[in-house]
Amino acid sequence: MTGVEPLLVEQRGEVRWLWLNRPERRNALDVTLIEALDKQITSAEADPATAVVAVAGNGPSFCAGGDFRQFLDLHDRGHNPAGFLAEVSACFSRIAAATKPWVAVLHGHAVAGGLELALVCDVVIAADTTLIGDGHLARRLLPAGGSSVRLPAAVGRGLSRWLLLTGELLPANAFAATGWIRAIVPEADLDATATRLCRQLAERASPAQRRLKTLLHRIDGVEPEPALREELATFADNWTASSVAEALRTFLAPGENP
């Protein structure tokens, strides 16, 4: 993995690894990085050889948020950075709606936009030294990439309010009880752990998994009654499309299972 591209791509079997590659800025999000990430969403969704997408950070951190230099450049040219952040928000929403699982692999700092990127992934893995938080208020900023909406569901109302209203950064272990982070490991074990969990997800790759991922996105935040109807409709569609009856007959065949 070499070069000056803002996003590096590495295919490891069925897992596509995306490396945020602005290490001198702690992978701060700018227009070039968001454009590259958006292209990879489209590419990964269309690639039958890719079952899972893992996103990690090159250098000392996962992602420290938006690029303040770009914010100021936009301001000096008479533009509110909200225009760029609308593109960030749309990109992150595409990840949340993707039919294939996304895994965030955190180290160093996962702050502001970096936290918001992690929040739209399906599985989060973190080095135990990672510092995580919203951080916006520390610079008089407000969230614009989704943390005010997604953080409460991920870590609970109390912790999310604290993180949002103070801007405090907490070590990964402070999130252990929330269930949001699937694994917290020494940084030396991060790659191996992420590889193992990505392979587990890839082993279940199928049209059924993609339908389930789509269902989970559709019913997120929806009231129970319509959500339950959507669940039943998806079951019915998958029953025929995924040849479930044949799979069950195989499972129940004598000698197939102990």
In CATH, the architecture of 7-203 is Alpha-Beta Complex (3.90)
DSSP state at residue 126: E
* Distance from C-alpha of 106 to C-alpha of 91, rounded to nearest angstrom: 19
Task: Report residue 29 CA to chain centroid gap.
Answer: 15
Alpha carbon distance 196, 258 (integer Å): 27
Please tell me the predicted confidence (pLDDT) of residue 1. Answer: 41
Q: Where do the structural domains in the chain lie, given as residue ranges?
A: 7-203, 207-252
Instruction: Name the strands in the sheet holding 7-12, side by side, starting at the edge strand that comes first in the sequence.
Output: 7-12, 15-20, 52-57, 102-106, 123-127, 183-185
pLDDT at 257: 57
Closest CA to 132 of 64, 34, 46: 64
Per-residue confidence of the chain (258 residues) as pLDDT tens digits? 445 899 999 999 999 999 999 999 999 999 999 999 999 999 999 999 999 999 999 999 999 999 999 999 999 999 999 999 999 999 999 999 999 999 999 999 999 999 999 999 999 999 999 999 999 999 999 999 999 999 999 999 999 999 999 999 999 999 999 999 999 999 999 999 999 999 999 999 999 999 999 999 999 999 999 999 999 999 999 999 989 999 999 999 976 555
CA dihedral for 74, 80, 83, 86, sign (positive or negative):
positive
